[in-house]
Structure 1
Amino acid sequence: MRPEELRNFELTDRQKGVRAMAKDFAQQEILPNVQQWEKDGRYPKDIVKKMGELGMLGVFVPERYGGAGLDYLSYGIICEEVAYADWVCASIISVQNSLVESGILNFGTEKQKQRYLVPLAKGEMQASSALTEPSGGTDLVALETTARRNGDSYILNGQKTFCSHASHSNVYFTLATVDKSLGRKGICAFLVDNPSPGMVVNPLNMSTMKRSNIAQIFFDDVRVSKENLLGEEGLGMTIVGATLSTGRYSVAARCVGQAQACLDAVLSYAPPESDIRAKRKRIPDGKADGC
């Protein structure tokens, strides 16, 4: 690619169409309802299916697996436009695409793709990641959750916390170690169905972020089939590293959308009096600095 091509930030016609679609949906289907959702503490479950129908829950998933088959810039555009209207709906898009589907797409078996990726991309299922633990926080190598081999299954024991959208999810992407002495080489990635015998999902009573349905997940001798091992044994940290990289990109795009919404809100409330006008003129400079 030539240097002049790298400096071309113009969207393609298809990307412009994606932006128009996402903005129209967010402004018509989401934004008018957000204040009431916040007041009621309501999770936008009915919106999930609609986002799936528009390809928002399988943005970069190939069409043969039920996705939209779009590029990653289009993914960022969708995250930005939806986040402008509502951070919870944007978080659903981000978690489902980045933290779960990207792992299945790049490391999953064909059977896993048919069983999980297709319905997830279509919005027929919802997914969450269960990575953070109470003892280690985001230090994933220090995780305590274990996976004991047992015939054609693994027996999971442990606890995860701060799992977004957990109560509404049909499957969790999680990590557990088969041998703690191996460090990162003992960590495996699993797809765990919800519900599963021995698994308890306990919603956290958050003072803020109530609508994101953050929860704790307890594994008490939860039997997970070997068919639900994602990738090979010991590949868990490689898989989660790839999914988190995609996730961080989507979070950045969401922040742009939320920042733009904040800026527009400030401008709408700023009075036109002369003593305020000078402050209003400084806002574009602040916007440029933020970029």
Structure 2
Amino acid sequence: MPVLGHTQYGKAEVRVVRVYRDREPHEIADHNVSVALSGDFTDTHLTGDNTRVLTTDAVKNTVNAFAKEAGDAARTPEVFGLELARHFTGVPQVSRVRVGIETYPWRRLEHAGTPHPHAFARDGGHVRTTTVTRTTGGDEWVTSGVTGLVVLKTTDSEFHSFYTDRYTTLAETTDRVMATEVTAQWWHAEPPGDWNASYPQVIDTMTSAFAGHHSLALQQTLYEMGTQVLTAEPGIGEIRFSLPNKHHFLLDLSPFGLKNPGEVFHADDRPYGLIEGTVRRDDTTDPGPAFDPGQGW
């Protein structure tokens, strides 16, 4: 006889923009919030009894209201996520809450050579991500992250001496373009003193490691990036990476009577190699449900 396994439900992608007008210059917090609730909701699946179901519309309304009620907490996605998670675990039938937040960066426009106090442009670069998981027992896990961070180096990258079989056609190289679009998520074993200062520091450490590391494989660079982040940030217990290899293939320009000494490339978006891995401290404890298999990066 079939039995019901793990379930969760909630509201996904609640876009809320909080404008702070209480000081000059104005500030913007632009979040895309998804909330998933787990708990005693078996009856709605098996019998259609919705008595225990907090509506997903109420979840959406809570996110929007908290953007105002939480005050300064909404400036920082980790703090905003914790406030929401603590609220939803107060619902009696909820045993676990997972709050995922994407935060979109804005930069201040300039006018007459100086930053304008209340005019902005949306940055087209990477997106800041946050995941907060809380149980009714009071256990909390906070992970920060980034997605869409595209990095490239024109040299200092090799790939050779790899295993071959009869289907292998890739040529070995001691000098190649290496590019990737970083998705990373790091678990805070200890909260930083300043969430908003910690995030750019991790990004700076990560990108500096990418730039300065002479790479023999993207896998090796992944480990170097993670190692440098853990060294620089003692409160981070683990960092996970998903790194697609953004291939750049040297074009043959000889039909046009041209030489191409590593200058003109075709950027191929698919198929692509996908390198994923985790770097963690050897003394860290299990990071808990924030990193459950199947929950995504």
Give the TM-score range, shorter chain: under 0.3
Higher percent of residues as strand: 2
Higher percent of residues as helix: 1
Larger Rg, first or second structure (1 or 2): 2
Normalised by the length of structure 1, the TM-score is 0.28
Which protein has greater RCO, CA pairs closer than 8 Å, 6+ apart?
A: 1
